[in-house]
Structures are given as C-alpha cells and as structure tokens.
Structure 1
Amino acid sequence: MDSSILLNIQDQVAYIKFNRPKKFNSFNREMAFNLQKTLDDCIRNDEVRAIVLTGEGKAFCAGQDIQEITDPEQNPGFKKILDDHYNPIITRIRNVEKPVIAAVNGVAAGAGANIALACDIVVASEEASFIQAFSKIGLIPDSAGTFFLPRLIGFQRASALAMLGDKVGAVEAERMGMIYKYFPTETFQEEVESLAKKLSKMPTKALAYTKKALNKSFNNSLEEQLALESEYQIAAASTEDYEEGVAAFIEKRKPEFKGK
C-alpha cells in the first residue's frame, strides 16, 4: 500500500488519514482502492471499535483528482470511477458495524464532502467548509450526495447547494443540521480524539444495531421499522455488553463494555 492512506490504531480507534496534501487529498484510483482495503482491514480487526476519517494538511478531501480524469492515458472513465472507487467506499462506511466519524479538518469538496456526510457522525474544525462542487464543471453530485444531503438538510437547501455549488462553512453546516458539531480549530484534534475514545468504549454491537436500523429507516414503513426495532432490540439484549450495562446500573458504577 502506498502512503496516500495512513492508518494509526490507538486505544481501539482506527485513525484513517487521507494523505495527498499537495493535491488537497483528492482521490485517484490508487488512493480509492487503498481506502477500501484499509476500511476492510478495520472491519476485520476486532481490536478496532471506532473509525475516524480525516485529512492531512489544510484539506479534508477535495474529491476526485481532476488530473486523472483529464489525462487520456490515466482516465479510467466515470463508470469505473463510480462503480470501482466511490460507491464501494460509501457502501463500506454505511455497512461497517462500527461507528465512523468524519473529522473534517479543512475543505471537503465534491466526493470528499459526500464521503464525510455518509459517516455516522460528522464533526468539523471551525475553519472547515463543505461544497457540492460538481455543477461547477457540469456534473451531478455523486458518492450518495443526492441521497444523504436532502435527508440531512431538507430538499430546498440540498437542491440549492447541489445546483449553485455554494460553499458552506462549519458554523452554518452545524446550524442547518448538515453536521453534528464544529469545534474551534485549536482544540479540534483533542475533541475528535475524545469523541472517538468515547465511542470506542461504548457497547459496539448495540451501536452496530443502531446503525443498521437507521440505514433501514430510509426506506421502511413505520410498521416495518417497529418490527425491525423489536428484532434488533432482542439481539442487543442478548449481548454481554447489555448484561454489563444493567449490572453497572444496579451497582451504581461505570460500565466496562467489551464490544461483545
């Protein structure tokens, strides 16, 4: 694996960093495949109980590397870019049975913005920004942008941002419900680590069932969702973490969840 994706595992948290800072962490084919492999490694690693995606340097991710798609020798074509690169990344983020945090440290544009919005929890540095840059070069939002954005901020705002390509700062993104929180730049790293460690010590299987239920809620009827909640609640109640949580509550102590 090349150095376009960096992985550091600490305290049961996998920190995945986009590492093409001179290209504002934009994706080429190799970087996309490296991210997929790194996510797969985190999925298989039982020691990993939370995942953080972030960027090296000034940007989170500027989306697709335009140089790749304008080079007649390197350009894989849009079908391959979407089918092989971005769609599998989004699918992995939504299907991994561990919480995924997007720690948006700088600009998140195009596919970079939509990869962030597909994560379970999105936090941003106060200096970060989000932009659906596609219309500026005659394209449409991909990487599930047309799926998540209207669900996060409503149809009108999503439509306007997708068509106009306006930049949204972190403060405004929090206000409109696009992200969970923004933090001051000087404390951003500390806040991200605190959040990730908190999630890594929570009942991982219950979080996974919560994530699966939220995924299904996009298409289920009320009756179907109630039935699913019943199914997943019964499954969660059979875990060791549930037994520990109840015991800790009764004994008035802090629970020690193992993710089992």
Structure 2
Amino acid sequence: MSELRSVMLNVNEGVAELTLNQPERRNALDPIMRAQLAEAIIAIRRDRNVRAVILAGSKGHFCAGGDLRALAGAGLDNEGWLQRFQDMNDWVRDLISLDRPIVAAVDGMATGAGLSLALTADLVLATPRARFSASFLRVGLVPDCGCLYTLPRVVGVQRAKELMLSAREFDAEEAQRLGIVMEIVAADALLVRARAIACSLVQASPAAVSMIKRNLAPQGGELAALMDAEAQAQALAMGTPGHRTAVNRLLEKQAPLFNWPAAT
C-alpha cells in the first residue's frame, strides 16, 4: 500500500483501490488532494498489472466537491485559474480514458466535482445514504472535471440541464433511475461488492475490455476540446461577483440567494 496524506492507493491481485482520505472534510478536493490524485492515477496507468480500479472515499464520505475555503483563499487571476483547471483536467481525462474498468463506490456525498469524479467510472455503486448533486451553480460556477461531457451522456441533455441549472440534491434511488447508479448496496457491503466486481473483471480479457471502452469512448479530440472549453469557462466564472458572493454567503452560513423552486 502506498499511503499519502489525502489519498490512499492499494494495489492487490490486479485491483487498484484509490481512496480519498480526508473524511473530516468530507473528502473535499483541495490542492494537495488533487496533486496526490494526479500522482496515483499516473501510477495506475503505468502499472500494467492493474486490471481494474475501485474509486472510493473513506469513512462514509465519497467527495463533497471542491474545498470552498481553499478556493476563496487562492488569490488567483484568470490565467492562474485557467492553469489550475487545465492541470486538473489532465488527470480527469486520464481517468475517463483509462483502458481498464473503473468501479466507483459512493457512500455519503458526491456533490459538485464529487459527482464529476463518480461519473468518470464505468460502473457506479451507491449506498442508500448516498447523495448526489451537480451543485456548481450554487456557488456561481459551471460544472467541471468533465461533468459537461459525462453527465449528458448518462442522463440525456435535457435532464443534465435540469440537474445543472437546479443544482438540486438527489438520492441514490433517483440516481439509479437516471442511470448514474448501477446498483444500490448496503453501506457495510459496498466495498465487498465493489471488490467482487473488480476481481471478476480482472479475469476478463484485457484486450477485449480495452476495446469495449475504446469504442464507447469519445472520438477524436471531442473530450479534450470540451474539457478545455470547460476550464476556460470555469476560470472566467471564478472571477465573477456572483461566485464571490455565493461562496462568502456559504462560508458565513447565510442563506443562498439562488434556490430552485419546489415542484407543486
């Protein structure tokens, strides 16, 4: 096992378990966690003995998205934000395009970039207490980490727009109906089931698995172009008054200005 402060990587019998490990902050992505994820994903891509990947969070949390305090205190200009998002896109693209199967095991929150991270997986398992949200608009931002590409491919364009524009939270049962979640599994059985699926996939033909993924993958430069546009849009959004106001209100525990109306 290679253990880093924020990310754990354990490779055993062809299965790499990649675990976000800052449960006290609901595994929110900060610069250290992002850097360590990039390092771990490079190691996975280079290790041809790895035949399947499990993506999980520790202690009842998957990933609560970006760390808002770290974002608010970054002090970057547009060029700095663009570089940060482009750097992040490198490892996100590596996950989406990985030629080996990825199983996400989602417990707790998968919001914002946490939802994007779950969507990089080929198969998503979730517990009944899992909660999902494309929450970016709550803080005046656009979806990132590939979400503008992955979410509409899973749920369709209109539903993706609704989830992004409402920024609403939805549970594991709705996520399953939408096609985001494959199976709902009890919390104490989540990793057991994820490991069983991953170990089964280890026995499959790696060439056939790779070709299945390749033929279902984005063609040409479609993914790269969309993620570059996503990074540019997010860099611009980071400098807007709407983003700064929304983040400050959240950090000061004030009611958000934007709320999706309840259905009547």
Q: Report the TM-score, using the length of structure 1 for normalisation.
A: 0.78
Question: Which of 80, 86, 90 is equivalent to 1:83?
Answer: 86
Paired letter, 2:118: A
Aligned mates of 2:99, 2:157 — CA distance in 1: 29
Aligned residue in 1 for 2:199: 197
Aligned residue in 2 for 1:236: none
Aligned mates of 2:49, 2:157 — CA distance in 1: 39
Aligned mates of 2:127, 2:220 — CA distance in 1: 29
Aligned residue in 1 for 2:17: 15
Greater relative contact order: 1 or 2 (C-alpha under 8 angstroms, separation 6 or more)? 2
What's the CA shift string for 1:8-55, capped at 9, x where partnerless?
Answer: 112210001001111111111121121111111111112211011100
Query: Against the structure 1 CA distance between its residues 102 and 175, is the aligned structure 2 distance closer, same or farther, given a 3 Å change threshold?
Result: same
C-alpha contact (below 8 Å) 1:58/1:105 kept by paired residues: yes
Q: How does 1:155-234 map to 2 (within 5 A)?
A: 155-216=157-218
- Is 1:142 the equivalent of 2:144? yes
Aligned mates of 2:200, 2:27 — CA distance in 1: 27
Query: Against the structure 1 CA distance between its residues 164 and 218, is the aligned structure 2 distance closer, same or farther, given a 3 Å change threshold?
Result: farther
Aligned mates of 1:129, 1:173 — CA distance in 2: 9
- Alpha-carbon deviation of 1:74? 8.2
Paired letter, 1:54: A
Query: Against the structure 1 CA distance between its residues 36 and 99, is the aligned structure 2 distance closer, same or farther, given a 3 Å change threshold?
Result: same
Aligned residue in 2 for 1:45: 47
Query: Against the structure 1 CA distance between its residues 77 and 110, is the aligned structure 2 distance closer, same or farther, given a 3 Å change threshold?
Result: farther
Q: Which of structures 1 and 2 has the bigger CA Rg?
A: 1
Paired letter, 2:29: F
Paired letter, 1:83: Q
C-alpha contact (below 8 Å) 1:55/1:61 kept by paired residues: yes
Q: Which runs of 5+ in 2 are unaligned?
A: 223-264
Aligned mates of 2:44, 2:106 — CA distance in 1: 20
- Is 1:102 the equivalent of 2:88? no
SS in 1 for 2:217: helix
- Alpha-carbon deviation of 1:217? 5.9
Aligned mates of 1:35, 1:216 — CA distance in 2: 23
Q: Which runs of 5+ in 1 are unaligned?
A: 221-260
SS in 1 for 2:62: strand
Paired letter, 1:167: E
- Alpha-carbon deviation of 1:186? 2.9
Number of positions where the alignment pairs a residue of Structure 1 with one of Structure 2: 219
Give identity over the alignment, percent. Answer: 29
Query: Against the structure 1 CA distance between its residues 71 and 140, is the aligned structure 2 distance closer, same or farther, given a 3 Å change threshold?
Result: same
SS in 2 for 1:126: coil
C-alpha contact (below 8 Å) 1:130/1:170 kept by paired residues: yes
C-alpha contact (below 8 Å) 1:18/1:60 kept by paired residues: yes
Q: RMSD value over aligned CA atoms?
A: 2.1
- Structure 1: 4+ residue segments shifted above 4 A: 72-77, 217-220
Aligned residue in 1 for 2:58: 56
C-alpha contact (below 8 Å) 1:131/1:166 kept by paired residues: yes
Aligned mates of 2:220, 2:126 — CA distance in 1: 25
C-alpha contact (below 8 Å) 2:66/2:112 kept by paired residues: yes
C-alpha contact (below 8 Å) 1:3/1:19 kept by paired residues: yes
Aligned mates of 1:57, 1:142 — CA distance in 2: 25
Paired letter, 2:135: A
